Amino acid sequence: MTSEIIAAADGSALGNPGPAGWAWYVNDECWGAGGWKHGTNNMGELKAVLELLKSTDHVADRPLKILCDSKYTIDSLTKWRHGWKKKGWKKADGKPVLNLDLFKELDAALVGRKCTFEWVKGHAGHPMNEAADERARAAATAYRDGKTPAQGPGFTLGEPVENKTSEAVSPSLSHSVENAPSTTADSSCAAAVDSEKNLWEESVFSDESTVRRILSEDFTWVTPTGKIINRDTVIQFRLNAFQSVKEPEIIATQSLGPDAVHILSTVQTPRANVMRTSLWKRTGGEWCLEFRQETAIPPAR
């Protein structure tokens, strides 16, 4: 009988949203971790499961039991995922599913896997959960402090630890090693895109302090009618400003140097379909939105 793999998966966010980390853990010689400069706890929880599935893909014939302290993660993947998918990745209230990119990757990664989930109480002394939590929190702390987090040896069961290599790829830049940026320009674009996507999440743009941190002091927004809106007005009316009917679609990115990226996307807002131009600049290691302009897209004839 093929032996079962038992692993814990956990996420951590300092501020939620804020510097965030994820980790999966089997034992001290078999674990993985990473994170983002800016993310949520739920993102960390989901990413931990996704990376565990990827790391064990080469032993997909072995049953996998995942220990989670997040009922949101378990219910999302075992109860709600298929219904969301049938509805075009929308929830029962018709709103788009948050963290959609992660859920789509998880949906694909779970195909054909013998995977079960078990809820464990967090911060209650469960050895594997505590070990995963410690590593996820350490990754979040590293991103907060501008350091590179410990990524762990990866999945090493059945192979010598010394022969197991780990790609040194910053998780804030890519959801998978295969798509990792290979140049400074690509890295800048990917980091700016991550920041742009974070602003799609209501949990992010509804928080005033978070929006204040993301928007540059000189931020300007030009609306489809040509009206120029300043930073304070955008912050005041942030729920309307950043709301979209469905997830925007990024159609182009352009690096303007190591610390500036231009992003072009199409967005269906409650008021109109628009072409959106966003300029992100990196200041003090953080990506901030400097300028945004929207142009109405004429309806198709």
Catalytically annotated residue among 32, 45, 152, 201:
45
Rg (CA), the chain: 20
Catalytically annotated residue among 18, 35, 39, 69:
69
Do residues 289 and 195 lie in contact, with contact meaning Cβ atoms separated by under 8 Å?
yes
- Give SS3 for 274: strand
133 is catalytic: yes
Segment 156-159 long-range contacts (CB within 8 Å, at least 24 positions apart): 156/29, 156/30, 157/5, 157/26, 157/30, 157/59, 158/59
Which helix (H) or strand (E) segment holds residue 283: the answer is: strand 273-283
- Binding site residue list: 10, 45, 69, 133
123 is catalytic: yes
The two counts, helices (H) then strands (E), for the chain are 10, 11
Angle between helices 41-55 and 127-144 (to 10 degrees): 110
45 is catalytic: yes
- Binding site residue list for Mg(2+): 10, 45, 69, 133
What distance in Å separates the CA atoms of residue 205 and residue 93, rounded to the nearest whole number?
Answer: 19
Sign of CA dihedral 202, 203, 206, 212: negative
69 is catalytic: yes
Phi-psi region of 75 (alpha: psi -120 to 50; beta: other; left: phi over 0): alpha
Q: Which residue has the tokens 């594997």?
A: 128
Catalytically annotated residue among 105, 133, 194, 201:
133
- Give SS3 for 234: helix
Q: Which one-letter amino acid corresponds to residue 289?
A: L
Catalytically annotated residue among 123, 162, 284, 285:
123
Question: Do β-strands 30-39 and 64-68 pair in parallel, antiparallel, or remain unpaired?
Answer: unpaired
Strand spans (E) along the chain: 5-13, 18-27, 30-39, 64-68, 115-119, 215-222, 228-230, 249-255, 260-268, 273-283, 286-296
Catalytically annotated residues: 10-11, 45, 69, 123, 133
